[in-house]
Structure 1
Amino acid sequence: MSEPTIQLYNQDSYMKTFQGTVLTCVKQTVEGQPDKPSYIVTLDVTAFFPEGGGQASDTGSINGITVTDVQEDDGIIYHTMVAPLTVGETITGEINWNRRFDFMQHHTAEHIISGFVHKYFGYDNVGFHLGSEVVTIDFNGSLTEEDIRNIELKANQAVYENIPIKVSFPNPQELKELDYRSKIELSGDIRIVTIPGCDICACCAPHVALTGEIGGIKITSFQKYKGGIRINMLCGTRALKDYNKKEKSVTDISVLLSAKPDEVQDAVKNIKNENQTLKGQLLNLQNQILVYKAAAFQTGTDSICIFDNDVAAASLRTYGNLLIEHCEGICAVFTTTDEQEYKYVLLSKTIDVRPIGKRLNESFGGKGGGSKEMVQGSVKGKKEDIEAFINNIK
């Protein structure tokens, strides 16, 4: 069995480059892509942090060759690369520093938020995902919006205080006396990350040295999740980009509405209310038009089959009820909602239309149902074929 990889990120999370030696290099092919192999490389030492603790792995390069993924198994770090290295050769590894520092900021911010939630509410962090786009924290208890905003405020106050962060490996006796957070039972050398006044937690990931380097913490959203709550969080440059994007959106909307940015919400509410009023007025006008359309049919008409794309799907039943007053047999009204897709209503005062609706659905891949007097549904097909089907029933 190989010796565990020396993990340089535990010694210095700010290490951007390092020297090492290649121990193994194994070719790996993906099923269905034999022309695109990858190579799994182990080194004697590495500064690449592997995926773990909810955090995605570092990326970067070794001897100029791209490292796409890093995993750990039983103390050995495995680097996935796009080209091979030679066993025994000396390498220079380079970390994608922008990604690493961004992850350091967010992981440290997660500790502060989780520490305060545990301190003030007693909830545990039961889930954490730190990727390049989304950062989520799951807690096993509910929080109000006021609770969350108070936690957010305290977290940012901790950032302003620029608190030094301590990383240590306590001996078993020290660990026994230490009150720290951990999601799982741990053994061996336990790495403890301490943010005085905020949190003490077992964690293997790199963190910033001072809370001020986080650069601001913003909880962007939250929702109920598995009996608890899920928080979405951003900090540093990501939080700034998110703010700029939302600021531009509000500014653009304010221009469209001719309203000040801080009055956009009221302006949208007014438009929504006006829209609802106009929809009601439009529906009334449409129904009046349907009355005139229906009146064009003489009372006692045998059967009626109409394709009218000016009739809204929501008004089909109203139109059918008006038409059936002039019809002795079957009344069928269709309106298109998409290419070769139609909403329909079938009515009759003298015939049970349920069997007809069933056959119609079977013939044209439709669905729907109703009573013996009225069936509603949708079908797919050509107008002339559907029309011929109805006419053949007559």
Structure 2
Amino acid sequence: MPSWIQPPFQRKVDPAPGAADGIMVKGSRRHEMTLRLYRDDPLLLEFDARVEAVEGKGPHWRVILDRTAFYPEGGGQPADHGSLDAIPVIDVQEEGDRVLHFTTAPLTKGRTVRGQVNATRRRDFMQQHTGQHIISASFWKESSLVTQSVHMGENETTIDLGASEIAENLLERVTRRVDAVIAADMPMSAVEAAPEELPRFTLRKPPPVASVVRLVRIGDFDCVGCCGLHLSSTGPVRLALCTGWERIRGQVRTHWQIGDRAVAYLEERLRILGDLRKHLATRDKELAESVRRLQEGNTDLRGRVGLLERRLAEFLFRDMLAATETVAETKMVTRILDNEPLNVEKSLVKALLAADNCAFALVNHLPDRLSWTLGVPPGISMNFQEMKALHLDPLGIRGGGRPPLWQGSAPASIEAECLQKTLSNILKVTLK
């Protein structure tokens, strides 16, 4: 039993002999085919139920029970996962007055089954949902910002606000208020209210329905209509961290790590800081300055490397031109490069293309492959596809392009000299 669930919350429930009593769905009470046990006991993880119907033919079946502790996706909260008699439940959806349990194998109608809700997933999304209420209420209290939409993902929770900008230090103020509410371990409660009863509640956001609604309260801090699942108090939320914000379609989207996720997020950052301290041989307070100095040094080194690469390309270019052969009055340059940097290779190709009446064939011997380049001067026509089919394809050499330049790669298993000879022959055939 998870440590966050204590008796009597983990209870076994016997199957009902008949139809379920009417309970509230999405804010209203009505007679339902499936009794939703999670509404009265959101910490219930294990239950017994009767299979009322099985639909579908696989690979996923839709199982309808007379009662369920599985929460169906809704209100921004993802569906529970778990099992029915050890058969995985991979999704739960609401369809009218029924709750559909999507399983990976069929069950028998009329059979009593044991349901088991995945405790880790249930706790995670209860933390997300409870934390989201606290955060949304804090934005409202700090700056009258209304939450427009919420997405509880597998890795983070995002909250979209009805604003195009965030005031300076607002996130800091909101985070402090959220921390205080969590630390106060305020009680969470739910109450049903008819429309005529709503004026006696201090609602952050009026519910958009005209029937009986379910209101979720956080002590005297917040009250809002909601049909989701929440923790019994704010303390088990543990922590909420805003990891950033962005503008999306004219609104502000804030990104949050909540609950156990936030603790894991901090633990991972502490591990990263520890590694940085070790590699930079510095203290926490000096990390930012150490990184700044590294960045400045890298910028200087990149500039020096760029200069050296340009000088190397100029030297290689002059050396190549000094060793050309002439084929049909056209200078032909061939060379095998020994793992030259990409920038050097690009500079060479650019210079050779600009050279007067010059064709060239380059092979760069890289650690994991050979790269090759063919170039011809203006006015020279090459049927590259024909040449490729005759000379390159049989060797497994890939490439393509259009006049006056063709490039590609070859497996490292091919000898560079063999590829260079093949490319040179293609040029000679083309130039003659």
Fold shared by both chains (TM-score > 0.5): yes
| 1:303 counterpart (332, 341, 352) | 332
Query: Aligned-pair distance for 1:78?
Result: 1.4
The answer to whether the 8 A contact 2:158-2:253 is kept is yes
Q: Is the 8 A contact 2:359 2:376 kept in 1?
A: yes
The 3 A distance-change label for structure 1 pair 189 and 386 is farther
Inter-CA distance 220–25: structure 2 relative to 1 (3 Å threshold): same
Separation in 1, partners of 2:172, 2:429? 67
The equivalent position to 2:287 in structure 1, one of 243, 246, 264, is 264
Structure 1 window deviating more from structure 2 (64-73 vs 136-145): it is: 136-145
CA distance in structure 2 between the partners assigned to 1:321 and 1:8 by the alignment: 72
Contact 1:28 1:40 in 2 (8 A): no
Is the 1:317–1:345 contact (alpha carbons within 8 Å) kept by the matching residues of 2?
A: no
Aligned to 1:329: 358
Contact in 2 for aligned 1:41/1:79 (Cα 8 Å): yes
- Aligned with 1:220: secondary structure? strand
Matched residue of 2:178: which SS? helix
Partner of 2:55: 26
Are residues 1:200 and 2:223 paired?
Answer: yes
Q: Is the 8 A contact 2:324 2:333 kept in 1?
A: no
One-letter amino acid of the counterpart of residue 276, structure 1: T
Which residue of structure 1 lines up, in the alignment, with residue 274 of structure 2?
A: 251
Amino acid at match of 1:193: V
CA distance in 2, matches of 1:183, 1:250: 45
Of 226, 233, 238, the residue aligned with 1:210 is: 233
Tell me what 1:388 maps to. Answer: 425
Query: By how many angstroms is 1:376 displaced?
Result: 6.6
Letter matched to residue 366 of structure 1: G
- 1:1-394 map, 5 Å: 3-30=32-59, 38-141=60-163, 142-143=165-166, 146-175=169-198, 180=203, 185-186=208-209, 188-196=211-219, 198-296=221-319, 297-298=321-322, 302-316=331-345, 318-320=347-349, 328-331=357-360, 333=362, 335=364, 339=369, 341-342=371-372, 344=373, 346=375, 351=378, 365-367=399-401, 378-380=407-409, 383-384=419-420, 385-394=422-431
| Cα deviation digits, residues 205-261 of structure 1 (max 9, x gap) | 111121112112112333332322332222222211121111111101221121223
Q: CA deviation at 1:96?
A: 2.2
The range that moved more, 282-291 or 70-79, is 282-291
- 1:266-300 residue CA offsets vs partner (Å, 9 max, x unmatched): 22222222222222222323333334333434398
Taking a change above 3 Å as real, the CA distance of residues 19 and 287 of structure 1, as seen in their structure-2 partners, is: closer
Task: Answer whether contact 2:364 2:370 (CA < 8 A) is retained.
Answer: no
- Partner Cα separation in structure 1 for residue 86 and residue 293 of structure 2: 58
1:357-385, Cα deviation, whole Å (9 max, x unpaired): x958996653578xxxxx67743568445
Percent of residue pairs identical: 24
TM value normalised by structure 2: 0.74
The SS at the match of 2:213 is coil
Cα distance in 1 between the residues matched to 2:339 and 2:191: 73
Gaps of 5+ in 1: 31-37, 370-374
Pairwise CA distance, 1:307:
4.0
Specify the SS of the correspondent of 1:138. Answer: strand
1:134 CA drift (Å): 3.0
Measured in 2, the distance between the counterparts of 1:361 and 1:118 equals 70
Task: From the superposition, tell whether residues 130 and 61 of structure 1 become closer, same or farther in structure 2 (CA, over 3 Å).
Answer: same
- Spell out, residue by residue over 1:57-82, the C-alpha distance to the aligned partner (whole angstroms, 9 max, x if none): 11233344433221111121112234
Q: 1:326 to 1:187 in 2, by over 3 A?
A: closer
CA deviation after TM superposition for structure 1 residue 97, in Å: 2.3
